[in-house]
Amino acid sequence: SPRVFSGVQPTGNLHLGNYLGAIRKFVALQESQDCIYCVVDLHAITAQLVHDDLKSQIRSITAAFLAAGIDPKRHIVFNQSRVSGHAELAWIFNCVARIGWMNRMTQFKEKAGKDRENASLGLLAYPSLMAADILLYRATHVPVGDDQKQHLELTRDIAIKFNNDFSGRIAAAGLGTEIAMGEETVNGYFPITEPLIGGEATRVMSLKDGSKKMSKSDPSDLSRINLTDDAEQIARKIKKAKTDPNALPSEPKGLEGRAEADNLVGIYAALADLSKADVLKDFGGRQFSEFKPVLAELAVEKLSPINAEMRRLIDDPAHIDAVLKDGGERAGAIAEKTMADVKEIIGFLQ
């Protein structure tokens, strides 16, 4: 049956890209789907091992989930390191995936930089852990931003190879199910996960450079709108956002080759739940000096309730810890069953 899984790393301030590309979709999906949302703390140590205050970071992401409207009673919210199955299944997937697959990942190349020999082995194996996160719950759908597309393809490749390599044993153990693979169905153990990447803001770009994605690790705070920014900071950042000198076009075609303009119109569209075409019907021909204050007002209107609720929740760490503990127990029960099946399929004695 369908199940949604997604995760966010506790590696810094959440920004508008994380919100529009991921968290807002998490909230929408919980109305119709069974969802598991995870603070992926094991991923947080791949690029940087020592963190000043990982515990607060984990609580802060959890607070953002709850403040955005995720219901931890109807769904599962927890932090990854609580459920040992993630690391266990990742090890097995390290033996399923090929080194060549990992070497092709653009995120690894970007994050490892020039000194690849000195990147952690965990950074290289990151997509294998991500596949484990998803497949531990046999999740069928994963809402993410566009930057995670390649990792999700790798998750599908791992599931396909596992299902193929163990097809006889899966059948012998009676653990096979009908798995949808595009138009066809095949017999296997792990589902072939579908990414959910849609809408007008699947890749929110930096406010300072339309060719770079908005990112937590950008050294310039002016490049992003943080979920913790107040109204004044949001307005200031939008005012200072890079643009070109031309007026807004009246159709999306006119945004081609204008990355910064495209980004701001996309942000407006996503926040207002409109298409870019609709936004341009209203704002075509207007200057950025007119558009930016309206965009700032909209951003403040949509983000300030989340901001206020996040602050309130962060002041009550005991509540957040209780949510994560409860979520971890429920996630753990599902994970245990998967790990028992996987061990049976591989042939470990248990």
Binding test (CB under 6 A) with ligand AQP, winner from 145, 176, 195, 252: 145
- Least distance (Å) between residue 87 CB and ligand AQP: 17
Q: Is 9 in the site for ligand AQP (CB under 6 A)?
A: yes
Q: Is 208 in the site for ligand AQP (CB under 6 A)?
A: no
Which of the residues 146 through 205 are near ligand AQP (CB under 6 A)?
147-148, 202-204
Q: Is 17 in the site for ligand AQP (CB under 6 A)?
A: yes
Stretch that binds ligand AQP, among 177-185, 208-216, 247-255, 317-325 (CB under 6 A): 208-216
Q: Do 77 and 323 touch, CB atoms closer than 8 A? A: yes
Stretch that binds ligand AQP, among 10-18, 74-82, 280-288, 308-316 (CB under 6 A): 10-18
Stretch that binds ligand AQP, among 16-24, 74-82, 156-164, 266-274 (CB under 6 A): 16-24
DSSP string for 165-221: HTHHHHHHTT--EEEEETTEEEEESS--PEEE--SS-SSPBPSS-TTSB--TT-S-G
- Least distance (Å) between residue 335 CB and ligand AQP: 20
Q: Is 11 in the site for ligand AQP (CB under 6 A)?
A: yes
Residue that the structure tokens 């809408």 belong to: 199
Note if 242 is an active site residue. Answer: no
Q: How far apart are CA 348 and CA 350, in angstroms?
A: 6
4-8 β-sheet, strand order: 76-79, 35-39, 4-8, 141-143, 194-196
Q: Is 29 in the site for ligand AQP (CB under 6 A)?
A: no
Note if 114 is an active site residue. Answer: no
Q: Is 144 in the site for ligand AQP (CB under 6 A)?
A: yes
DSSP type of residue 48: -
- Integer CA distances (angstroms), 2 to 33, 34, 194, 242, 333, in order: 7, 7, 10, 42, 18
Task: Give bridge partners of residue 8 from the DSSP assignment.
Answer: 39
Structure tokens at 69: 């409207």
Catalytic residue among 213, 237, 242, 302: 213
- Least distance (Å) between residue 118 CB and ligand AQP: 18
Decide whether 205 or 335 has the Cβ nearer to ligand AQP. 205
Decide whether 145 or 252 has the Cβ nearer to ligand AQP. 145
Q: 337: annotated binding-site residue?
A: no
Note if 213 is an active site residue. Answer: yes
Sign of CA dihedral 80, 11, 314, 206: negative
Q: 18: annotated binding-site residue?
A: yes
Q: Supply angle C-alpha 188, 150, 18, rounded to 5.
A: 110
Decide whether 130 or 339 has the Cβ nearer to ligand AQP. 130
Using DSSP, state whether 40 is helix, strand or coil: coil
The residues annotated with a catalytic role in the active site are 111, 213, 216
Can you say which residues are annotated as belonging to the binding site for L-tryptophan? Answer: 133
Please state the residue numbers annotated as binding site for ATP.
9-11, 17-18, 145-147, 204, 213-217
